[in-house]
């Protein structure tokens, strides 16, 4: 079941304690597409400038990614992001963001991109996410990512975008910021209570603002990304969590979240395409494992370098290891009185 992704296609300048790159291929849509294309055909939607190399597009094509909706804007400059990490690779500083061709971008999807049954709205201006969502009204599974910038500057539009998708994938801090709730599980359950008529904006983000749950469609799956601590999955009925895969060497976390999303959504798309009718708990948990495994490869080298060389056997081996390190047995020991 093919996947359409809209989001940034970028050049990134990144510095970590382990090295730096001045201009490497990046962008949320690129990281997502390289991961998801390991499982399914991906259509990428987004603008680039004259400065974007044909070689970079070839890297995507080489993975079977359809780039016909990558719009080259004459005279424009490709989105550019510069970030720096300290020893704590969980937090980074954004030093520069140049929107370039994203300013004034109007997403126009081809018939191929509109025909996808699975849609991922990577982190971009929420109005654009909603425009793209409206162009795939019949999609069977839709997911969205966002960031603190849009929670602060475009909350109303973001909440409407959230209410139009099945799955929200956010950092834990972003979920807290979005809902004003310090507890992660309560924050996720708050978003799960949102429906197509979203709560109004304002300082008070309490659940009293939210419309009656279940009265219309809204998100039914929340994934809280927790950086080096892993990711949690929260649905109305259940909770599941996986640690990040334990690595001795992490070089560059840029794109880990989007790579996770690519593995998670890609796995779901492949299974829905094989006849799975619903998002069972089993399917969602296995998707979490595949997202976690893919993200762990992404951080081993700079940018897209490691994921570009990744093989199916390497992924399968890491998912098996993840299963081993997270399972336990033994009877529950009753405490002595
Ligand atoms: P992640 O590390 O998963 O949060 O994603 C990092 C990627 O997001 C980088 O490759 C950047 O090019 C891209 N990025 C950074 N800031 C933005 C932004 N404001 N809008 C869209 N994409 C961004």
Question: For 220-266, what is each residue's pLDDT tens digit?
Answer: 999 999 988 999 999 999 999 999 999 999 999 999 999 999 999 99
Residues pairing with 12 in the sheet: 24, 81
pLDDT-derived band of residue 197, with 50, 70 and 90 as boundaries?
low
pLDDT-derived band of residue 273, with 50, 70 and 90 as boundaries?
confident
- In short, whether 255's Cβ falls inside 6 Å of ligand 1 is yes
Q: Of 69, 98, 66, which is closest to residue 82 (Cα–Cα)?
A: 98
Chain-centre distance for alpha carbon 15: 22
Mean pLDDT of 185-212: 65
Question: For 123-165, what is each residue's pLDDT tens digit?
Answer: 999 999 999 999 999 999 999 999 999 999 999 999 999 999 9
CA of 204 to the centre of ligand 1 (A): 29
- In short, whether 100's Cβ falls inside 6 Å of ligand 1 is no
Length of the chain: 337
Q: How is the beta sheet containing 231-235 ordered, strand by strand? A: 66-72, 42-48, 3-6, 118-121, 141-145, 167-171, 221-225, 231-235, 239-242
Nearest 10 degrees: CA dihedral of 48, 49, 55, 59? -10
- In short, whether 241's Cβ falls inside 6 Å of ligand 1 is no
Residue nearest to atom 12 of ligand 1 (CA): 27
Q: What is the pLDDT of residue 67?
A: 97
Rounded Cα–Cα distance for residues 60 and 194 (Å): 36
Rounded Cα–Cα distance for residues 278 and 12 (Å): 37
CA of 257 to the centre of ligand 1 (A): 9
Residue nearest to atom 14 of ligand 1 (CA): 27
Q: Which long-range contacts (CB under 8 A, 24 or more apart) does 126-134 make?
A: 126/150, 126/154, 126/157, 126/158, 126/160, 126/161, 127/154, 127/157, 128/6, 129/6, 129/161, 130/157, 130/160, 130/161, 130/164, 131/106, 131/107, 132/4, 132/6, 132/45, 132/107, 133/161, 133/164, 133/165
Structure tokens at 259: 């790579």
Contact 78, 132 (CB under 8 A): no
**Ligand 1 atom nearest to 80, measured from its CA:** 12
- In short, whether 25's Cβ falls inside 6 Å of ligand 1 is no
CA of 28 to the centre of ligand 1 (A): 5
CA of 83 to the centre of ligand 1 (A): 9
pLDDT-derived band of residue 113, with 50, 70 and 90 as boundaries?
very high
Rounded Cα–Cα distance for residues 307 and 316 (Å): 14
- In short, whether 259's Cβ falls inside 6 Å of ligand 1 is no
- In short, whether 46's Cβ falls inside 6 Å of ligand 1 is no
Question: For 55-103, what is each residue's pLDDT tens digit?
Answer: 999 999 999 999 999 999 999 999 999 999 998 888 899 999 999 999 9
Per-residue pLDDT for 198 more than 60?
Answer: no
Rounded Cα–Cα distance for residues 2 and 119 (Å): 9
CA of 154 to the centre of ligand 1 (A): 17
Rounded Cα–Cα distance for residues 257 and 32 (Å): 9
pLDDT-derived band of residue 276, with 50, 70 and 90 as boundaries?
low
Rounded Cα–Cα distance for residues 206 and 157 (Å): 18
Mean pLDDT of 165-174: 97
Per-residue pLDDT for 204 more than 60?
Answer: no
The fraction of the chain above a pLDDT of 70, given in percent, is: 93
Cα–Cα–Cα angle for 260, 190, 180, rounded to 5 degrees:
90
Pocket test for ligand 1, best of 7, 9, 27 (most atoms within 8 A of CB): 27
Please give the backbone phi and psi of residue 218, each rounded to the nearest 5 degrees, phi first. Answer: -155, -175
CA distances from 306 to 24, 254, 302 (A): 13, 12, 7
């Amino acid at each position: 079941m093919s996947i359409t992704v809209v989001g940034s296609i970028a050049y990134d300048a990144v510095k970590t304690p382990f090295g730096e790159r001045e201009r490497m291929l990046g962008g949320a849509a690129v990281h997502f597409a390289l991961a998801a294309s390991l499982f399914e055909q991906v259509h990428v939607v987004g603008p680039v400038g004259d400065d974007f190399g044909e070689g970079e597009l070839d890297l995507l094509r080489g993975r079977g990614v359809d780039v016909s909706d990558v719009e080259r804007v004459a005279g424009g400059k490709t989105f550019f992001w510069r970030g720096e990490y300290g020893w704590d690779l969980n937090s980074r500083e954004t030093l520069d963001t140049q929107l370039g061709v994203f300013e004034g971008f109007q997403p126009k999807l081809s018939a191929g991109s509109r025909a996808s049954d699975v849609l991922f709205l990577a982190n971009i201006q929420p109005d654009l996410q909603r425009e793209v969502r409206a162009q795939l009204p019949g999609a069977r599974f839709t997911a969205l990512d966002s960031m603190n910038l849009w929670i602060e500057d475009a909350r109303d539009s973001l909440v409407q975008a959230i209410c139009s998708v099945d799955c929200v994938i956010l950092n834990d801090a972003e979920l807290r910021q979005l809902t004003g709730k310090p507890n992660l599980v309560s924050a996720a359950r708050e978003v799960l209570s949102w429906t197509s008529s979203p709560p109004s904006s304002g300082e008070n983000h309490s659940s009293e603002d939210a419309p009656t749950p279940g009265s219309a469609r809204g998100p039914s799956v929340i994934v809280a990304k927790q950086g080096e601590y892993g990711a949690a999955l929260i649905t109305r009925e259940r909770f599941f969590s996986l640690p990040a895969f334990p690595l001795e060497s992490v070089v560059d976390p840029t794109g880990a979240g989007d790579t996770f999303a690519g593995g998670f959504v890609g796995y779901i798309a492949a299974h829905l395409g094989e006849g799975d009718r619903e998002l069972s708990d089993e399917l969602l948990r296995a998707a979490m494992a595949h997202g976690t495994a893919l993200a762990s490869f992404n951080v081993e080298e700079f940018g897209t370098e490691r994921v570009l060389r990744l093989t199916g056997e390497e992924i399968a081996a890491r998912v098996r290891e993840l299963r081993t390190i997270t399972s336990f047995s033994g009877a529950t020991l009753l405490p002595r009185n």
